[in-house]
Amino acid sequence: MKRLALSAVLGAVLMFAASDCASAQNTAPPGGAYQKVSALVALPDYLPGLGTLYVDPSTLPAGPFLAYDHAGALVSSIYMIPLKDMNAKKAFTGLKAAHANVDHVDIVYNAGHPGVAEPHYHMIVWYVSPARAALLSK
Amino acid sequence: MGSSRRDFMRAGGLLLTGVGFAPTRQALASSLSEGVERLTGAIEIIQMRSDALGSRVWFDPIGLFVKAGTTIRWTVRENVHTTTAYHPRNDHRPLRIPTTAVPWDSGVLVNPGSVFEVTLTVAGVYDYCCAPHEAAGMVGRIVVGKALGPGAEPFDYWVGAAGTADWRHVPADARAAFPSVQSIIARRRVHVAA
């Protein structure tokens, strides 16, 4: 009985920790190893169409990059996959993801930018509707 | 940054005594620009462009013919860009500007409206690129007066020559994007097809 109670408490603690971690990523800054991309490379704080990006540098170039709107709410996870890696049939497995409900996904070619200075694809897992995503361009 | 500023000033070929050292490159550009306008009055603007998704990026015009002493002013319209001369001092790129010209590298211009200027005083062909977009083919070519110098040579003219072991090749998409020197001389301004 004591063991069962201990397990229940431990389970509850772990669930709380996981939920806390997930909710921590729902608002900027996400904490942990994530750093603001504009502090790592020469990019503006806010990227029109994407938002304010955070990344764990150890996961570059793929990411995820966690994107937040002007109010600091999580809007997407972005994975940046270089074209040359795709052409080389390189696999990217076990990529992290934010714990949020997915609304839709965009896969968009990008010519490059500081941080990933080569042609690549943005695979954008959106947690907001296309209408809300469109507001990020402002 | 200090090196870029030195390059910038030397590329301008101007005596900057009396010109204040502003804290930012953009402000420095403005200061130098004023001096240039007083001396020559010739300024050509090249816009640094991008579509909304960052999928398509280009210099406009991509090809330009000017007289010696003309100041080139690059202006960011969208996205983030650099203007970076093809020169071994710029990340081992091959020499594709006149041998006696001083290379430039703007560094990343982060905000729309940012400008960077260089005054080209040596005749010849000047090839340059946007560093983060070079592999995607964002390059430009300026002909100052005549089709002279390394920029008028084939892309791999230097292969096997002494002192070029660490030079890297111009990427394929960049090679394909350059307008020919002849077309620039004939048309004066070459724009990327819409």
What is the spatial distance between Cα B173 and Cα A110, in angstroms, rounded to a whole number?
14
Chain B contacts of A111, Cβ < 8 Å? 50, 54-57, 133, 136, 138
State the pLDDT at residue B50: 96
| Confidence band of B25 (pLDDT split at 50, 70, 90) | very low
Percent of chain A at pLDDT exceeding 90: 78
Asked if the peptide bond before residue A29 counts as cis, ω within 30 degrees of 0, the response is yes
DSSP string, A11-73: HHHHHHHHHHHHHHHTBSS--TT-EEHHHHSS--SEETTTEEEEE-GGGTTT-PEEEE-TTSB
Percent of chain B at pLDDT exceeding 90: 77
State the pLDDT at residue B95: 98
Flag residues of chain A having pLDDT under 50.
Answer: 1, 4, 6, 8-21
Phi, psi of A35 (to 5 degrees): -130, 150
Interface probe, candidates B24, B58, B59, B133, chain A, greatest A C-beta count within 10 A: B133
| Confidence band of B193 (pLDDT split at 50, 70, 90) | confident
A61 touching B (Cβ < 8 Å): no
Instruction: Read off the tokens for B163.
Output: 């002192």
Of B12-26, B95-109, B158-172, which range is least confident? Answer: B12-26
Long-range contacts of B180-183 (CB under 8 A, 24+ apart): B181/B125, B181/B141, B181/B143, B181/B147, B181/B151, B181/B152, B182/B147, B183/B63
Single pTM value for the model: 0.80
* Tens of pLDDT, residues A81-112: 999 999 999 999 999 989 899 999 999 999 99
* Tens of pLDDT, residues B47-70: 999 999 999 999 999 999 999 999
What are residue B126's DSSP bridge partners? B142
